[in-house]
Copies of this chain bind each other. A is one copy, B any other.
């Protein structure tokens, strides 16, 4: 199976329309309209300006198509490909005004999503040789979660919950309100649908021991150092998925993975990934 199933155009289109609406404003591209003839046809390339993993080609394609369905967009690279500075991502041919009116919107999608995919790829590379998977979190930019989680997958990562209704994740505040780990897990089991997994966050091995008696599907080991993570993994002994979270960066992640945890989750890839740079060059 492809590890990179694309998002359907029907899902992407509202994002594209919203972004174009934002950039066209009420007056449209007044610069191109003033300086370029309506019938001027141009060829252009979208070019990568640094090394990274490509994500967002479909968003770019749809952006140009919104301005002019006849504008020809030929992708040279696909989401999931790794490129170098100077690589051509796509060829464009069509009315110069339409190309320029959609350029910035298209590149903004590519830059942001490829930035996430590239960052994710770096983290995932650190996990090679371990069984750990990288997962993103619900720390995402407001309104962009669908796209950001997609870019994480393109980078080789996995998605944790998409939203609060996907799965149960019991944190300290829930435990406090329920009275105990035991009670919270019993309540969760009683109310959850049968296709809903239950995870619980623990800070200590004592908490972990209490939790394991109630057979959670997964345990989030919060801010534990490598030594404690190893002990936790031993204690869990395969009865639940072990997820490490907190203090994850490129310098710490391999050691965390070597503790034997199943998942390492981080918000760095969605909240701190720098954009990857792209340009649009007219060609003769």
Contacts and interface: CB of A to CB of B under 8 A. Distances in A.
B31 A170 contact: yes
Contacts of A162: 25-27, 165
Contacts of A3: 191
B168 A31 contact: yes
Contact of A28 (B5, B67, B176, B199): B5
A25 to B, nearest CB: 4
A117 to B, nearest CB: 15
Contacts of A32: 164, 174
A259 B102 CA distance: 34
A47 to B, nearest CB: 14
Contact of A133 (B66, B172, B194): B194
A91 interface: no
Nearest to A282: B173
Interface in A74-125: 96-98, 100-101, 104-105, 107-109, 111-112, 115
Which of A26, A97, A218, A271 has the most CB atoms of chain B within a 10 A radius of its CB?
A26
A272 interface: yes
A83 B175 CA distance: 30
Interface string A138-152: 111111111101000
Interface of A: 1-3, 5, 7-8, 10-11, 15-20, 22-38, 40, 42, 59, 66-68, 96-98, 100-101, 104-105, 107-109, 111-112, 115, 133, 135, 138-147, 149, 158-178, 183-184, 187-188, 190-197, 199, 217-218, 241, 243, 262-263, 267, 271-272, 274-275, 282
